[in-house]
Structure 1
Amino acid sequence: MVTLLVATTSDPASINPANALLAMPRWQPGPHFQDDMKSFVNEGVRLLLHGNSIVAEDDLDKRWEQVTREVVHEVIFFSKHTAVSNKPALTVHPIDVLPQGGRPGWAALPNPRMGPWLRLLKNIAQAHNVVPEFEITLEATHHGPLTNKPTMFLEIGSTEDYSKRQDAAQVMAKLVWEGLGLGGGTDIGNWSREKDNKKILLGIGGGHYAPRHMDVALKDNVWVGHLLSGYSLPMDDPSQSKGETNAEIGGTWRHSIKAAYEATKSAFPGGEIFAHLDHK
């Protein structure tokens, strides 16, 4: 089984960490996938480069399996982060649940590495002196592309200038290098190898940057599943008439929570999921 890393040449926050990772030892040209895509191999890791929008290439994991006959264990995307605050940030987040896009009724399996890697990212960023300038943060579940295996995004932002920062790219590259044990160390956050610490956070409510959920996620014995911000839990129900005054509270929030819970449960077999609520 292989880890599929994905980067796009159209985004410096994506290709710069990929290039920094490729500058590390033992990378070799990988299997031919598509004429417009390149791949590289390092042990059980496959780094795939393409020139399209990072969120536009659906089912890359399934397509990789069909072409190479290699089974994909997980998917990790390098990408840019944008925010109206324009503050520099290094972020980790799971992807896509209704009503924010994707396939109706679908939520990607969250990558179990998110909690352990968030803590590792904070340590690496401190060692490279990019904090406190860059904020280290979780983001709530949002955007695609569609995937079929446990997935997470690693992002640099929030402006174009920050996205191009080579020191931030080096931090993200080292996060992957150390997190996957490519330097001969421990493979961090591999759920299938864990026997203890089976508590998984399902965050419900709060803002997009989930600071209260993050306080919980930074604890050593917590794993991170989906994080649903308040804006992804609308109370309006399209099946109810707008003029109906005695309608029960319903809406697509029920569907969003169910999809997020089921995806988190599938990503952490045998784990104990607990909901952490934020009233914002």
Structure 2
Amino acid sequence: MTSEHAGGLVLAGTPIGNLADASPALRAALATADVIAAEDTRRLRSLLRALDLTTQARVVSYFDGNEASRAESLLADLQAGRTVVVVTDAGMPTVSDPGYRLVRLAIETGLVVSVVPGPSAVLVALALSGLPTDRFCFEGFLPRKPGERQRRLASLATETRTMVFFEAPHRLTDFLVDAAAAFGDRRPAAVSRELTKTYEETRRGSLAELAGWAAEGVRGEITVVVAGAPEAAVDLSSGVAEVLARIASGEKLSTVVSAVAEASGLPRKALYAATLDARKDTL
């Protein structure tokens, strides 16, 4: 069996909810593939039925749990001249979904890699958020453990680009609460759920407001978009005021000075010296 991508790896984007988003290119790729590597073979067969497609391709399971071991056998198919199409449950392969390892192997082996473009929850949510889209970063799913998630968010506190996250509905409230603690209650954000589906919804507001809304219970596939940190300059007196306020609440002076200096761009030594002077003046 041959196709226009004969002997190559095809990363095929699938609808993230609305089957009308399935492109003619996706239909052709599925119908003419030699091998289809699917994140969930049952979901794939449901998609084929819904699109009224038939395929003679060999269908194999390809998900997080077997991605590393299955990639080698799929590479062998590619080297034998077969067309391997990778599909996930929804959206683009490799974007928080399987596919990356196989892409790397194919590239290192000198094989053809192509893409059938399709819907992406990242870009759809970003466009709907109303937040700046000229510069953004995708952080995917953060760690499930609270401590690890909080540390990751803290490391992003000074990120100036708009940030996009995926999150499970049952962890959304905790995520938003932790984000508010790391970025500030007033940081603008948007939560999109069930994108392109019947009950699609996007909520916009501050992180604190969204955390209160999510506490009532949210269902569906979730994408969160958070505004980046403002690039406003901080003068030395403002930096000193922040340090004094934080050490008054019990934090250690050297730790706070380092954190404020990093976040504001102020020279650490100058901030430390000015803080010591300010403390002397209050004694």
Could you state the TM-score of these two structures normalised by the residue count of structure 2? 0.27
Q: Which one has more relative contact order, counting CA pairs under 8 Å at least 6 apart?
A: 1
Decide which structure has greater strand share: 1
The structure having more radius of gyration, on CA atoms, is 2
**Larger helix fraction of residues:** 2
